[in-house]
């Protein structure tokens, strides 16, 4: 599962995240998609208030 970095430069965050199983991609996708949950709930509140 965890494979140690074999690249030339290993001390940076992306090389570290690249050691785990898909952890680099999961990290990037999460950072991108996570704010959408916040937006969803905020909009939900607004839409419900407007519908009242």
**9 lies in the site for another protein, by CB under 8 A:** yes
1 or 8: whose CB is closer to another protein? 8
Which residue is it, tokens 């999961």? 26
**E strand or H helix at 2, and its extent?**
none
**6 lies in the site for another protein, by CB under 8 A:** yes
Q: Which residues contact 35 (CB under 8 A, 6 or more apart)?
A: none
Sites of contact with another protein (CB under 8 A): 6-9, 12-15, 17-18, 22, 24-25, 28-29, 31-33, 35-36, 39-40, 43-44, 46-48, 50-52
């Amino acid at each position: 599962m965890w494979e140690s970095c074999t690249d030339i430069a290993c001390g940076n965050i992306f090389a570290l995240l690249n050691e785990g199983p898909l952890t680099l991609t999961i990290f990037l996708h999460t950072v991108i998609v996570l704010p959408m949950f916040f937006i969803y709930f905020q909009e939900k509140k607004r839409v419900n208030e407007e519908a009242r």
